[in-house]
């Protein structure tokens, strides 16, 4: 079986427009089968995908749309084919694939049967379009080698995917972290190759988009930690401390005891300086480090809103619906 025939690809998307076209074109000749799963697009996504040779699935809206649900549907479509591939590459519809990457990823999985997942480096296509895109670009830069988790662009061994019954369709954010956590707990290793994998188009140009994304992130922190108490521990601690506990204590101090307010302001300043220094140590220019640290500070507030939204949904038995930012 050829390398391309050994690999199937699942692309997920919703109203990605030209970004989806670019994604599909980047996969031409790289894989034996491409499945596109659409979550209720109102543009020409389904038509464009079909014209570019992808097998298309339109998810029904009776169940809330999630990236996890879409990936599962694409995987099932591939597995229903005669002689299905050994590996499946998942790609978000706002990404393009680096030429030749799949050959290296498949070779790594073939060489080590203990590996359940391979990923690589993702980067932003337009990092200078906004401070928000710049933050995404920095977020994608992670060390190579054995890892705990990765984003949604990943090549997964079919056996590993089936061992854990795929993604949890009810997890609306950080579903990839949750998936990776279960893979590791099932005994599979995860690895990031030190090579480019995909190029992402966040297209995040406004504060409102950034805020919505941060709300979604907080929802993911809370939901995944609720499922795996050993994961997102530090992130949740900082979120609840800086986004809820300290603001409430500061309000108390402002009314009744000003030294407490002063101490909390000082604590926030210390945290901000540490963030700046950490970003500079990682190689970021001071100007960008100063700006991005402001958003890292602010992000705790929408994170808490997202976490509270999850808790309210769980308490009320409500469905976990996606939180979109674009």
Strand pairing of 87-92 and 145-146?
unpaired
19 shares its domain with 133: yes
Give pTM, 2 decimals.
0.93
Could you tell me if residue 299 is inside a domain? yes
110 shares its domain with 138: yes
Number of domains in the chain: 2
Could you tell me if residue 170 is inside a domain? yes
Better pLDDT: 318 or 120: 120
- Residue percentage of the chain with pLDDT more than 70: 98
For 261, the enclosing helix (H) or strand (E) is: helix 258-281
What is the spatial distance between Cα 273 and Cα 278, in angstroms, rounded to a whole number?
A: 9
What is the spatial distance between Cα 213 and Cα 307, in angstroms, rounded to a whole number?
A: 13
Match 């199937």 to its residue by tokens.
8
320 pLDDT band, cuts 50/70/90, is confident
User: What are 262-314's pLDDT values in tens digits?
Assistant: 999 999 999 999 999 999 999 999 999 999 999 999 999 999 999 999 999 99
132 shares its domain with 281: no
User: What are 149-178's pLDDT values in tens digits?
Assistant: 999 999 999 999 999 999 999 999 999 999
Could you tell me if residue 124 is inside a domain? yes
Could you tell me if residue 213 is inside a domain? no
Cross-strand partners of 36: 11, 56
61 shares its domain with 160: yes
188 shares its domain with 255: no
326 pLDDT band, cuts 50/70/90, is confident
Q: Which domain holds residue 181?
A: 7-205
Q: Does pLDDT of 1 surpass 80?
A: no
Could you tell me if residue 324 is inside a domain? no
195 shares its domain with 240: no
What is the spatial distance between Cα 116 and Cα 176, in angstroms, rounded to a whole number?
A: 14
188 shares its domain with 101: yes
């Amino acid at each position: 079986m050829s390398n391309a025939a050994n690999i199937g690809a699942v692309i997920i998307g919703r109203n990605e427009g030209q970004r989806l076209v670019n994604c599909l074109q980047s996969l031409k000749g790289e894989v034996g089968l491409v499945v596109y799963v659409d979550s209720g697009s109102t543009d020409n996504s389904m038509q464009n995908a079909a014209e570019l040779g992808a097998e298309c699935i339109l998810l029904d809206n009776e169940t809330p749309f999630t990236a996890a649900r879409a990936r599962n549907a694409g995987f099932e479509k591939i597995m229903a084919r005669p002689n299905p591939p050994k590996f499946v590459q998942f790609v978000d519809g706002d990404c393009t694939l680096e030429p030749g990457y799949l050959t290296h990823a498949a070779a790594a999985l073939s060489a080590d049967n203990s590996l359940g997942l391979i990923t690589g480096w993702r980067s932003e296509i337009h990092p200078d379009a906004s401070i928000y895109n710049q933050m995404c670009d920095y977020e994608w830069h992670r060390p190579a080698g054995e890892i705990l988790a990765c984003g949604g662009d990943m090549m997964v061994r079919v056996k590993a995917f089936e061992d854990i019954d795929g993604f949890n369709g009810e997890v609306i954010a950080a579903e990839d972290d949750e998936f990776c956590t279960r893979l590791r707990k099932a005994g599979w290793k995860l690895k990031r190759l030190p090579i480019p994998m995909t190029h992402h188009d966040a297209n995040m140009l406004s504060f409102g988009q950034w805020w919505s994304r941060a709300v979604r992130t907080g929802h993911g922190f809370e939901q995944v930690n609720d499922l795996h108490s050993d994961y997102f521990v530090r992130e949740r601690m900082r979120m609840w401390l800086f986004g809820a506990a300290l603001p409430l204590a500061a309000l108390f101090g402002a009314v009744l005891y000003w030294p407490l307010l002063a101490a909390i302001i000082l604590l926030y300043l210390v945290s901000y300086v540490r963030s700046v220094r950490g970003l500079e140590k990682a190689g970021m220019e001071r100007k960008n480090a100063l700006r991005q640290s402001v958003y890292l500070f602010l992000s705790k507030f929408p994170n808490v809103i997202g976490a509270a939204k999850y808790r309210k949904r769980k308490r009320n038995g409500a469905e976990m619906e996606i939180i979109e930012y674009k």
